[in-house]
Structure 1
Amino acid sequence: MKIATLYFNNVRLKPSQIHKLRGYVGNAFKNHDLIHNHDLTTGKVIYRYPLIQFKLIDNVPAIIAITEHAVKIFGEIFMQLDRIRIEGLEISVHEKNLKVDDVEFGFSNETFMYEFVSPWIGLNQKNYLQYRDANKGEKQKILQSAFIGNILAMAKGVGYWLEKEQRLESELQVRECPVNLKGRTMKGFKGRVQTNFMIPDHMGLGKSVSRGFGVVKGAM
């Protein structure tokens, strides 16, 4: 699978400002729904796995495009970005670094360890209530199931389908952490997860991955 990453090396943003970077870029390129995931005619949200994601990578603001289709759009428009306006402040972009990679993605007979480098928001409204009222062992099973569901949603979003005999497994070692999302405090998780699915570094899982949540990175 092809992934492109555009780094803004001279720009410094806080994690809480990443969604504002997304908002600025989405407004600057309104004709590309792949960026903002809203229908161009109705304005309604398009519910799909975001193929263009905004995040901090080693404290550097970055935008990643996932799949060859997204990378093509990415190359056409993002190199035009020479300034960013956030919270009334205009930031000149003096240095940009575009990196394009072919990465491994998909089911494997091996298992891999990943670390959440930003909080994972893995629970939805339904399984949050189940999780809240569950004991320790049940909570672990709920999180494992939620993580596998997130992988399947990600895979579907990039056009990858598992065979019937391919079964995903996961083992999580995570701790709860509060997350502020759109003015609301939600339950997020940090820590590590082991699974038999190859996930490229810096891809996101769970809710609000386009805003930089749920970013994973390979861990030893």
Structure 2
Amino acid sequence: MKIAILYFNDIRLTPNQIHKFRGYVGNVFAEHDIIHNHSTETGKSIYRYPLIQFKLIDKTPCIIALTEEAIEVFTKIFMIMDEINIEGRIIPINEKDLKIENSDFGFSRETFLYEFVSPWLALNQRNFHLFNEMTDKADRDSLLKRILTGNILSTAKYLGCHLSPEERIETNLNIKPSKATLKGKSMIGFKGVFKTNFMLPDHIGLGKSVSRGFGTIQKIL
């Protein structure tokens, strides 16, 4: 799978400002719903895996584009953007670094180890209550494993990777709760490591709000 990463090397943002960074770019390029995932006609949310994601990598703000379609829109951002506006503060963009590469993506007979480098927002409203009602760690871990497997399957589906009945995704995880803040609201996230037999590109996100930098992963082994 082709993946592009645009780094803004001379800009410093906090994790809590990434959703504002995304909001600004989404407004500037409002004609491209692939950025903000809202219908340009009705304004309603488009439920799909975000092909353009905003995040911090090693404290550097960046935008990631997945697939040829997203990279085509991405090049317009690269060529046109020379500033961003965060909370009324105009920040000039003086240095941009664009990297485009092909990354392995799909089912594998091998197992790989990944790390969540930003909090994984695994729980929605329904399974949040279920998680809180569980008192046994094994039950909680089992629930999180099912959610992680579902996240990977959903990502694969939206990115055009369809598994055969014999290709079953396996996961194992070692994570701990991690505080997360989204639009000023405190949420429960998780950080740590997980193993799976599915090849995932570095820096893509899993779970909720991946377009805003949550659930970012990086391969360890």
TM band (smaller chain): over 0.9
Give the deviation of 1:78 after TM superposition. 2.9
1:15 maps to 2:20: no
Corresponding position of 2:68: 68
Corresponding position of 1:190: 191
CA distance in 2 between partners of 1:87 and 1:183 (Å) = 14
Amino acid aligned to 2:180: V
Secondary structure of 2:20's partner?
helix
**TM-score, scaled relative to structure 2:** 0.97
Corresponding position of 2:209: 208
Corresponding position of 2:46: 46
Give the deviation of 1:23 after TM superposition. 0.5
Secondary structure of 2:138's partner?
helix
Provide Cα deviations, 1:8-34, integer angstroms capped at 9, x if missing partner.
011111111111110000000000000
Secondary structure of 2:6's partner?
strand
Unpaired stretches in structure 2, ≥5 consecutive residues = none
CA distance in 1 between partners of 2:32 and 2:200 (Å) = 26
Provide Cα deviations, 1:74-117, integer angstroms capped at 9, x if missing partner.
11333210011111111110110110000000110000000000
CA distance in 2 between partners of 1:165 and 1:51 (Å) = 28
> CA RMSD, aligned part only?
0.9
Corresponding position of 1:179: 180
CA distance in 1 between partners of 2:91 and 2:174 (Å) = 39
Corresponding position of 1:116: 116
Q: How many residues align?
A: 220
Amino acid aligned to 2:170: E
Secondary structure of 2:5's partner?
strand
Counterpart mapping for 1:83-102 below 5 A = 83-102=83-102
Counterpart mapping for 1:147-158 below 5 A = 147-158=148-159
